Chains A and B, each alone.
Chain A
Amino acid sequence: MLVLQSIILGIPQGALYGLMGFGIALIFRSVGTMNFAHGNAGMVCVFVAFSVFTATGSIILSILCGIIVGFLLGVIIDKALMGPIKHLSHAGMLMITLGLLMIFEGAAQLIWGTDYQQFPELLRGEPLIMRLGENKLIMPLNDLLITAVAVAVSIIIALYLKYAKLGIATRARAQDPIGAKVVGIDTNMVDSLVWGIGISISVLVGILIAPKTYIHPGMMGNMQIYGFTAGVLGGFESLFGAIAGGLILGILEKLVGAYISPDYQLSIVLIIIIIMLAVKPSGLFGKKSSGRV
């Protein structure tokens, strides 16, 4: 029964990890930058949402503001910093995103301080309780919502990439930047758009976990590591690999927590990705062909 309960609790957690990995993979696949500042960029925008919430008291407005600011932040990062340095080596881009990570952390500390701030849950109420014979399975309502949002967002983005004109342009740019330019796609615009969408996803994840972790400058640190892990597990080659990887990760984490000790959750998960990277760097669902979004 513990297994089932762990799985049920692991799914919402995993959906968030997956969404995080999804955003990172989206940027990586299309623009070619592994964004190590992904979590912290989201964190800053969650703080913005929090400020809006304290000022107006409206949750919907604050979430909207957070996501819009996240989109703008992504566009600014691309236009001002990452766009002009596409020629740089991987190591160079890596260091720049690490620098961004530090700057975001410092900026949040400077503006909002290091205190833990509370953010309300989106859905409150009695958790869903299922009875299986003598055992009870518990699913908190908010977790249900998180799972639903994560699934919805990934489906929307999948549809967007599949059918929307800009989505097709994004895929074209990922497959072949020069070819995309030849057929008249403004790749710079597409890059900015991808950055914007990626960071907004990170903001969304931040807002969804905020009730649990509280809002503080380090709130997304582990989340980002889980996001990378999800990406590695599922393979950065395919976006849905990241979602699936995230789900596996979430369930695995809860199982480790239930059967070994919660203290070892993170380290065991991390050791798994190191092994995964060593054995199959393309991930569980990775394909040989590259260039798909």
Chain B
Amino acid sequence: MKKFVYLAVIGLVLGLLFISESFMLMIFSSIIIFGIAALGLNILNGYTGQVSIGHGAFVAVGAYVTSVMSMNFHTPFILNILVVIVCAGLLGFLIGLPALRLKGFYLAIATMAFGVAIQQLFAAIHIFGGHGGLYGIPRLIKSEFGMYLFNLGFFILMYFIADVITSSPVGLKYRMVRDSETASKAYGIKLSSVKLNAFVVSAIYGGIAGALYAHTITYISPADFGLGLSINLLSMIIIGGMATLEGGLIGSVIITGLPFLFSRTKVPMSIIIGALIIIFVLFFPRGLSYGLKMAFLKYLQMPLVWFRKLRARRAKRDGDWVEVNGKKIFYTSRGEGKPIVMLHGNLGCGLWYSRVMDLPGYRTIALDMVNFGRSDRIKDSEMSSYALYLRGFIEKLGFKDVFLVAHSLGGAVAMEMAFDAPELVSRLLLIDPCPIDGLHTPEEHYPFLELYKSNPRMLKKSLLAIAPHIGDMKFLNSLTDNAYLMNRDSFIAHPRGLDKVNLTERAKSFKKPVLVVAGAEDILINREMAEATADALGGSVLILENIGHSLMVEDPDLFKEVLLNFDE
């Protein structure tokens, strides 16, 4: 809903800024009108994958029908638009029928032939004014500003409808047909009805754009709706972005707006548009809309990242440093007694254990591993390096028989270290650990992980997803702040490293008690993974209901209970 309000406000402000310049308002109007047509073409071409280079025909039908009706019969616009919708829809249905059998180039030829045929028919029929076209089409609203607002209102309405359609099951079917006809058939989708549906919807959009065009410009001729317009519409969605709602408008701003920018020069528009089409198809196939979105996600929130880092550094944390191999490791220690060393997961730090450090009779130590939090950076982000530093840390503090608690990525580090030096470890409590044979992150997730580096909102959401019952948003915020203290390269390197983990063989020689705890609602580590890990280590499994990936932040009391039970 928000974006419609934004659209309306931006449109209104632009209109008010240029309220006295009717020429500018007319340009804005045509941008919006072609935006509607491009939106319709995007439904057909972007969402459903049916190429059309005859879309100008639908615009022509809309323009001519409303012109002839209002000039000859003085019918009200509301009636005209209904007739336009019916006519354009019927025509869309008609061209949709042969298009059902055609694909790729053949479909392009058919739609091109259709577009030119309709244009020629309008030029040949007397009532439509022949090649000269029609003059003096009545304006709906006398003032240019009023007409602009009218068009804007229509655009927002059509945008809203397109939003509803594309996010409905019908829109899903469109995309299925585009991505694989065979697969959508297998899902019981009737290809012909979906394609026809898309043709009709997209034709209606074209028709409405044509009707608005006629009443705004007040002069139409067949030459306005030829192959040139069809290619322009296509280039709008290529440049703006295929299969996006805003792509059509962005493309329309460029394609409709450019001629006014270049009006003083002698460079013909078609060179520029042609070059833009080729450049976008070859180098930016996702269009400007994707580029703008990515720029927004990547760069606009960078100041917030710096702010969060600063806040994390400034925040008060009691603790001490230990130097291992020349790198300082930060840790927090609480209480006296049997030592427990707690390892955090990816994007984490010692703070994740802050709610569970009060354990009577134990000395709890939560450290920031190297590359995390306030500890020093190292060059690589390998689990085995982390394990070496962890071993050095434990030796430096002079512990023997440490009770190791490890979460997620820390689990892999803890296992690695425990297999290296079993004498240092007395028992192992693994909370939703990285599976014994590695955790695979699908390749298509990496671009999103890349975005976490620069987008605190996304990172916060993903942390919330792995700690769904955290409750305290302030705590989540400070965890997010601290996540940014992690080495920037590790955002990508950690999942890659976890992918490579394979400790199954080495686990066989490990004989200490092990407990693997997993939340039933964990989205990363499922029950099978937890069981496999426990099997390999010869330990037991505990599955907890209503817990996600991070027991210690989601239910601290339960964590303590589990830990104490395990130690008895």
Residue of A at shortest CB range from B49?
A: A91
Please state if A91 and B104 are interface contacts (CB–CB under 8 Å). yes
Q: How far is the CB of A235 from chain B (nearest CB, A)?
A: 11
Please state if B113 and A263 are interface contacts (CB–CB under 8 Å). no
Q: Is the interface of B mostly helix, strand, loop or mixed?
A: helix
Residue of A at shortest CB range from B111?
A: A274
A110 at the interface (CB under 8 A from B): yes
A76 at the interface (CB under 8 A from B): no
Chain A residues with Cβ below 8 Å from B281 are: 88, 92, 95-96, 99
Q: In the complex where A96-B277, A96-B281 touch, is A225 in contact with B271 (Cβ < 8 A)?
A: no
A266 at the interface (CB under 8 A from B): yes
Please state if A277 and B274 are interface contacts (CB–CB under 8 Å). no
CA–CA, A28 and B104, complex, Å: 13
Q: In the complex where A103-B274, A277-B109, A277-B110 touch, is A266 in contact with B120 (Cβ < 8 A)?
A: yes
Chain A proximity mask over B30-56: 1 for CB below 8 Å, otherwise 0: 000000000000000000010101000
Residue of B at shortest CB range from A34?
A: B105
Chain B proximity mask over A89-100: 1 for CB below 8 Å, otherwise 0: 011101110111
Centre residue among A104, A261, A281 by max chain B CB count within 10 A? A281
Q: Is the interface of A mostly helix, strand, loop or mixed?
A: helix
Please state if A34 and B108 are interface contacts (CB–CB under 8 Å). yes
CA–CA, A102 and B124, complex, Å: 26
Please state if A106 and B106 are interface contacts (CB–CB under 8 Å). no
Please state if A99 and B101 are interface contacts (CB–CB under 8 Å). no
B254 at the interface (CB under 8 A from A): no
Q: How far is the CB of B521 from chain A (nearest CB, A)?
A: 41
A1 at the interface (CB under 8 A from B): no
Stretch in contact with the other chain, from B261-269, B493-501, B553-561: B261-269
A275 at the interface (CB under 8 A from B): yes
**What is the size category of the interface that chain A forms with chain B?**
35 or more
Please state if B117 and A98 are interface contacts (CB–CB under 8 Å). no
Please state if A107 and B271 are interface contacts (CB–CB under 8 Å). yes
Q: How many A-B residue pairs have CB under 8 A?
A: 138
Chain A proximity mask over B210-234: 1 for CB below 8 Å, otherwise 0: 0000000000000000010001001
Q: How far is the CB of A32 from chain B (nearest CB, A)?
A: 9
Q: How far is the CB of B144 from chain A (nearest CB, A)?
A: 30
Chain A residues with Cβ below 8 Å from B104 are: 90-91, 94
CA–CA, A3 and B97, complex, Å: 33
Chain A residues with Cβ below 8 Å from B95 are: 274
Residue of B at shortest CB range from A104?
A: B274
Chain B residues with Cβ below 8 Å from A261 are: 124
Please state if A100 and B278 are interface contacts (CB–CB under 8 Å). yes
Chain B residues with Cβ below 8 Å from A267 are: 116-118, 120-121, 124
Chain B residues with Cβ below 8 Å from A147 are: none
Q: In the complex where A81-B278, A95-B277 touch, is A270 in contact with B114 (Cβ < 8 A)?
A: yes
**Among candidates B53, B110, B266, B272, residue contacting A274 with C-beta atoms closer than 8 Å:** B110
Chain A proximity mask over B265-294: 1 for CB below 8 Å, otherwise 0: 011111111111110011001000000000
B458 at the interface (CB under 8 A from A): no
B123 at the interface (CB under 8 A from A): yes
CA–CA, A263 and B273, complex, Å: 31
Q: Which of B115-137 contact A (CB under 8 A)?
A: 116-118, 120-121, 123-124
Please state if B113 and A228 are interface contacts (CB–CB under 8 Å). yes
Chain A residues with Cβ below 8 Å from B275 are: 99, 103
Please state if B120 and A102 are interface contacts (CB–CB under 8 Å). no
Q: How far is the CB of B425 from chain A (nearest CB, A)?
A: 53
Please state if B106 and A281 are interface contacts (CB–CB under 8 Å). yes
B245 at the interface (CB under 8 A from A): no
A273 at the interface (CB under 8 A from B): yes
A105 at the interface (CB under 8 A from B): yes
Please state if B270 and A105 are interface contacts (CB–CB under 8 Å). yes
Please state if A103 and B271 are interface contacts (CB–CB under 8 Å). yes
Please state if A102 and B231 are interface contacts (CB–CB under 8 Å). yes
B201 at the interface (CB under 8 A from A): no
A278 at the interface (CB under 8 A from B): yes
Chain B residues with Cβ below 8 Å from A104 are: 274
CA–CA, A94 and B267, complex, Å: 24
Residue of A at shortest CB range from B95?
A: A274
Chain B proximity mask over A247-289: 1 for CB below 8 Å, otherwise 0: 0000000000000010110110011011101100100000000
CA–CA, A11 and B118, complex, Å: 26
Please state if B282 and A102 are interface contacts (CB–CB under 8 Å). no
Please state if A270 and B101 are interface contacts (CB–CB under 8 Å). no
CA–CA, A105 and B268, complex, Å: 9
A221 at the interface (CB under 8 A from B): yes
Q: How far is the CB of B44 from chain A (nearest CB, A)?
A: 12
Centre residue among A94, A229, A232 by max chain B CB count within 10 A? A94
B16 at the interface (CB under 8 A from A): no
CA–CA, A270 and B266, complex, Å: 35
Q: How far is the CB of B51 from chain A (nearest CB, A)?
A: 5
19 CB < 8 A contacts A-B: A81-B278, A85-B282, A92-B281, A94-B105, A95-B278, A102-B231, A105-B268, A105-B270, A105-B274, A106-B267, A106-B272, A106-B274, A109-B268, A228-B109, A229-B113, A266-B116, A271-B117, A278-B97, A281-B106
The 3 lowest CB-CB distance pairs between A and B, nearest first, are A102-B274, A106-B271, A278-B98
